[in-house]
C-alpha cells in the first residue's frame, strides 16, 4: 500500500495522535546498516532528530556494514527489553533466528528501508521505498533517452542487499522490452564512491575506454559519483558522451545533474522518520495489524525536473 493512501486511511489517526511528540514514553532500538555514501548518514540523522522531536528514547547502533554486528545489536536490544526494534538490514538473509528471538521476547520488530528474506509473521511491517520501482524508473528513463539502443555498464550495490537485488531486477525487467539495450558489464561497487570509482576504472580498462558503451546505471549516487571521477580522469565526458542514471538524488548528485555530468537520479527519500515513528508508536498503542509493506514514493529527477 502506498504511504499516501495508507496515511489517508484509518491509520491517519495514529499519525495525528503522535505527531509533535510521542504521547507515552517509548524506547526504540534502531540497528542501522552503517554510514556508507551520502544517503545513509542523512537517514541516520533524520531518525535521530525525529526521535528527539517525538520524545522517543532511541538506542542507535551502527553496524558498519556487518550483519554480525546487527545481530549482536538486535540481541542487545532484546536483553534491554526495548519497546520496539527497527532494523535496516545490511543483507536479506540470516534473519530468521534473531527475529524469532524478538518475537519470543514479545518485542515487535519493524523493517526500515531494506527487506529481509524471512517469514512475514516475524516482523510487524516494513516501511520503505520500492527498490524494484526505482530500477524500473531508471530503466525506463534510459530506454527513452537512448531511443531503445544502448550498451550499459552497471554498478551494483552491496551483494545480497535488498536494493541491489531489486534495483537490478527492476532495471532488467524494463530493458528486456528493448532488444537494443543490454548490460555489457556489471560489478558491485558496494554502494560507495570509492567502490564505484574502482569498478569504473576496471570497466574503462577492459573496454578500451568504454568503447561501444552508451550508458551507466549505478544502484546509488555515490557509486555514480565515483564513476564520474574515473571517467573524467580517463578523459571521457560523462553526461555528454554517456547517459548516466542512478538512485538516491543526494545533494552532490543534484550538483552533477545541474552541471550536466550526470543525467538522471531516482530520489530515495532520507527524511523518513516522520513516516516510520508514527507507524511504530501507533502499533505500540493499539497493536492493530498493519499492512506488511508501507511504501514511500520514489520520483525520477533530471536537470530539467529537479523537483525542489
- Interacting residue ranges for ligand AHR, rule: CB under 6 A: 36-37, 39-40, 113-114, 163, 191, 220, 247-248, 268
Nearer to ligand AHR by C-beta: 163 or 278? 163
CA angle 113, 194, 190 (to 5 degrees): 35
Q: How far is the CB of 35 from ligand AHR (least distance, A)?
A: 9
Closest distance of CB 205 from ligand AHR, Å: 26
- 107/162 with CB nearer ligand AHR: 162
For ligand AHR, give the closer residue by CB, 108 or 163: 163
CB of 167 to ligand AHR, least distance (A): 8
CB count within 10 Å of CB 94 equals 17
Contacts of 149 (CB under 8 A, 6+ apart): 178, 180, 181, 214
Query: What CA–CA distance (Å, rounded) separates 67 from 159?
Result: 12
Could you tell me the smallest distance in angstroms from the CB atom of residue 287 to ligand AHR?
28
Nearer to ligand AHR, 114 or 198 (CB): 114
Choice between 57 and 117, CB closer to ligand AHR: 117
Q: Are strands 264-267 and 299-301 parallel, antiparallel or unpaired?
A: antiparallel
Question: Any bridge partners for residue 125, and if so which?
Answer: 110
Residues 248-255: contacts with CB under 8 Å, at least 24 apart: 248/37, 248/38, 248/39, 248/220, 248/221, 248/222, 249/221, 249/301, 250/37, 250/38, 250/39, 250/42, 250/221, 250/222, 251/38, 252/38, 252/221, 252/225, 253/221, 253/224, 253/225, 254/301, 254/306
What is the grid cell recorded at 107?
Answer: 518485542
Identity of the residue, 135 or 163, whose beta carbon is nearer to ligand AHR in the bound complex: 163
Q: How far is the CB of 20 from ligand AHR (least distance, A)?
A: 28
- Minimal distance in Å, beta carbon 220 to ligand AHR? 4
Amino acid at each position: 500500500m502506498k504511504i499516501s493512501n495508507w496515511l489517508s486511511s484509518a491509520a491517519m489517526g495514529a499519525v495525528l495522535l503522535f505527531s509533535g511528540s510521542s504521547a507515552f514514553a517509548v524506547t526504540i532500538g534502531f540497528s542501522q546498516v552503517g554510514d556508507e555514501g551520502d544517503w545513509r548518514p542523512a537517514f541516520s540523522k533524520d531518525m535521530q532528530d525525529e526521535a528527539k522531536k517525538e520524545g522517543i528514547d532511541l538506542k542507535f547502533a551502527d553496524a558498519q556494514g556487518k550483519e554480525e554486528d546487527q545481530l549482536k545489536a538486535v540481541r542487545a536490544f532484546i536483553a534491554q527489553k526495548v519497546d520496539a526494534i527497527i532494523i535496516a538490514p545490511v543483507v536479506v538473509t540470516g534473519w530468521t533466528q534473531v527475529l524469532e528471538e524478538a518475537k519470543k521476547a514479545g518485542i515487535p520488530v519493524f523493517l526500515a528501508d531494506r527487506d529481509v528474506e524471512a517469514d512475514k509473521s516475524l516482523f510487524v511491517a516494513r516501511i520503505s521505498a520500492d527498490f524494484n520501482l526505482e530500477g524500473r524508473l531508471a530503466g525506463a528513463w534510459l530506454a527513452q533517452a537512448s531511443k531503445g539502443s544502448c550498451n550499459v555498464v552497471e554498478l551494483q550495490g552491496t551483494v545480497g542487499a535488498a536494493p541491489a537485488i531489486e534495483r537490478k531486477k527492476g532495471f532488467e525487467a524494463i530493458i528486456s522490452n528493448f532488444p537494443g539495450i543490454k548490460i555489457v558489464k556489471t560489478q558491485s561497487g558496494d554502494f560507495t564512491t570509492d567502490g564505484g570509482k574502482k569498478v569504473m576504472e576496471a570497466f574503462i580498462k577492459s573496454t578500451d575506454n568504454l568503447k561501444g558503451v552508451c550508458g551507466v546505471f549505478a544502484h546509488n549516487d555515490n557509486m555514480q559519483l565515483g564513476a564520474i571521477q574515473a571517467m573524467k580522469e580517463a578523459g571521457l565526458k560523462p553526461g555528454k558522451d554517456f547517459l548516466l542514471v542512478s538512485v538516491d538524488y543526494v545533494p552532490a548528485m543534484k550538483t552533477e545533474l545541474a552541471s550536466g555530468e550526470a543525467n538522471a537520479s531516482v530520489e530515495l527519500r532520507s527524511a523518513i522518520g516522520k513516516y516510520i515513528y508514527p507507524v511504530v508508536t501507533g502499533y505500540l498503542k493499539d497493536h492493530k495489524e498493519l499492512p506488511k509493506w508501507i511504501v514511500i514514493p520514489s520520483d525520477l529527477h533530471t536537470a530539467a525536473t529537479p523537483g525542489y
